[in-house]
Amino acid sequence: MAQLGIQEKLGILADAAKYDASCASSGTAKRNSRDAAGGGKGLGSTEGMGICHAYAPDGRCISLLKILLTNSCIFDCHYCINRKSSNVRRARFTAQEVVNLTLSFYRRNYIEGLFLSSGIIRSSNYTMEQLVEVARSLREDHDFRGYIHLKTIPDADPELVHQAGLYADRVSINVELPTLGGLKRLAPEKDAGRIEGAMGAVKSAILDAKDARGRYKSAPRFAAGQSTQMIVGADAATDGDVISKASGLYDRFGLRRVYYSAFSPIPDASAVLPLSRPPLMREHRLYQSDWLMRFYQYRPDEVVAAADPATGMLPLDIDPKLAWALKHRERFPVDVNRAPREDLLRVPGLGVKAVNQIVKSRRWRRIRLDDVARLTNSVAKVRPFIVTEDWRPTLIADRAELKPLVAPKTKQLELFA
């Protein structure tokens, strides 16, 4: 590997880390004050590398230095730009370089923490040791109190994964693909049993640490949670497969989050991969389904029921909550003045905050349609599904042509947008 300066390594390893969805941020136009095209004038750049935003356990949005330790890897996962057979420029930080970068970014107030992942170098254990050493040095040598999120390597010695949890606020282990068949085909060196075994061990360690801290204040801290990521659209898995897998992971391993990352074609892609990316809307619909299970009390099979039974895919033109409601019209209209909270959560267009507000307000007075309108973006979407003091959708809830009335209007795209 050629000798590279820190700036060059940062460019390569921050770019390589962008494929991890756990802290995605939106794109923008490229601008750089050092560009000759701009006369080398001005201030700032949109091409700065390595900083992304994520949500801390307490809900704050924080800036993280998001990098890989190295983008070299001895594995050859087909969907990954860093795989062994990929023709990309390689770089590698030492553990000390990552520590120094984190501290200098932190002291300049650029970041509030570190998100560190890595390709696998030499062996899973060796790589995990390097990741742990970064976190250890930050915490023990420099008393670093910022946020640390470590991607862990499932094949590594469980003791090393445990050590990662002792220093990090969050650890994550990627399940990568929703089905066993997909994993075998696209990441043949990975083993679903070992991935889930490592998740189970992290879950036990989190629970043990909570229990111990409940009894002894001096008990060591352990990561507050774990998360995972699934790639969507690289294999033939349906939305139903993805939702079922995610729900199983939440149940069995108490995950904080499952992230869904729409597969994006990579340079020199393997022939087994699709040529084009899935619609980004698919990723969005999966996040909405995830939300329904976590905050709206839908069972996984109910979310799957919103999908087209022939294809197993969620509709792209309407959200899964509306799709479910259109298939279950017998559950509507819901009387906002009487219905239990869980029925109100099923009404398309009513969010958790709106439902909480309705439940609170109706203790004191009867809710009218205007009251609901103030709590939602589109009362037209809500109206066919509710009864209020002054509104009852007599015929409309049964009309077969309800979908065009409540679905978002399609927009003409601008040719030169």
Residue 405: CB minimum distance to ligand SF4, A: 45
Helix axis angle, 320-327 to 280-295, nearest 10°? 70
3-class DSSP state for residue 262?
strand
Burial bucket for residue 407 (CB in 10 Å: 0-12, 13-18, 19+): middle
> Residue 372 Cβ, how far from ligand SF4 at the closest point, in Å?
47
The alpha carbons of the chain give a radius of gyration, in whole angstroms, of 24
What 3-state DSSP class applies to 147? strand
Q: Which residue in 10, 73, 199, 209 binds ligand SF4 (CB under 6 A)?
A: 73
Cβ-based nearer residue to ligand SF4, 121 or 219: 121
Phi, psi angle pair for 52, to nearest 5°: -135, 175
178 vs 333, which CB is nearer to ligand SF4? 178
CB of 394 to ligand SF4, least distance (A): 56
Segment 205-208 long-range contacts (CB within 8 Å, at least 24 positions apart): 205/162, 205/165, 206/165, 206/254, 207/254
Q: Smallest gap, in angstroms, from Cβ of residue 118 to ligand SF4?
A: 7
**229 versus 289: smaller Cβ distance to ligand SF4:** 229
CB-based burial of residue 327 (10 Å sphere; 0-12 exposed, 13-18 middle, 19+ buried)?
middle
Q: Fill in the amino acid letter for 131.
A: L
Considering only 82, 163, 247, 289, the residue that binds ligand SF4 (CB under 6 A) is 82
Q: Which residue has the tokens 């267009």?
A: 349
- As measured in angstroms, the least distance from the Cβ of 17 to ligand SF4 is 10
Comparing CA positions, the residue from 246, 266, 271 lying closest to residue 257 is: 246
Query: What is the contact mask toward ligand SF4 in residues 301 to 340, using x (rule: CB under 6 A)?
Result: ----------------------------------------
Paired strand residues for 257: 227
Distance CA 230, CA 255 (A): 13
| Contacting range for ligand SF4; rule: CB under 6 A; set: 74-82, 155-163, 300-308, 326-334 | 74-82
Q: Quick check: 406 binds ligand SF4 (CB under 6 A)? A: no
- Total count of residues recorded for the chain: 417
CB of 80 to ligand SF4, least distance (A): 3
**Cβ closest to ligand SF4, residue 63 vs residue 229:** 229
Kindly state the smallest distance separating residue 380's Cβ from ligand SF4, in Å. Answer: 45
Please say whether the beta carbons of 408 and 348 come within 8 A: no
Check binding of 150 to ligand SF4 (CB under 6 A).
no
* Residue from 10, 14, 65, 77 binding ligand SF4 (CB under 6 A): 77
Q: Which stretch binds ligand SF4 (CB under 6 A): 78-86, 334-342, 366-374, 406-414?
A: 78-86
How many H helices and E strands in the chain?
15, 9
Q: Which stretch binds ligand SF4 (CB under 6 A): 79-87, 106-114, 251-259, 333-341?
A: 79-87
Q: Beta partners for 351? A: none
- Smallest separation, CB 180 to ligand SF4 (Å): 17
178 vs 315 by CB, closer to ligand SF4: 178
Binding region for ligand SF4 (CB under 6 A) out of 56-64, 77-85, 235-243, 306-314:
77-85
Asked whether 75 and 187 are in contact (CB, 8 A), the reply is: yes
Q: Which of residues 155-214 bind ligand SF4 (CB under 6 A)?
A: 187
Question: Max alpha carbon distance in the chain (Å)?
Answer: 74
Residue 333, preceding peptide bond in cis (omega within 30° of 0)? yes
Q: Which of 75, 166, 284, 305 binds ligand SF4 (CB under 6 A)?
A: 75
Contact, 83 vs 75, CB < 8 A? yes
Listed in sequence order, the residues at least 6 apart from 188 whose beta carbon sits closer than 8 Å to its beta carbon are 76
Instruction: Decide whether 111 or 131 has the Cβ nearer to ligand SF4.
Output: 131
Q: Is 119 in the site for ligand SF4 (CB under 6 A)?
A: yes
Interface with ligand SF4, residue 120, by CB under 6 A = yes
128 binds ligand SF4 (CB under 6 A): no
Among 9, 18, 66, 83, binds ligand SF4 (CB under 6 A): 83
The residue among 75 and 391 lying less far from ligand SF4, judged by its C-beta, is 75
Which segments of 247-400 are extended strands (E)?
A: 257-262, 334-335, 386-387
Contact residues for ligand SF4 (CB under 6 A)?
73, 75, 77, 80, 82-83, 119-120, 187
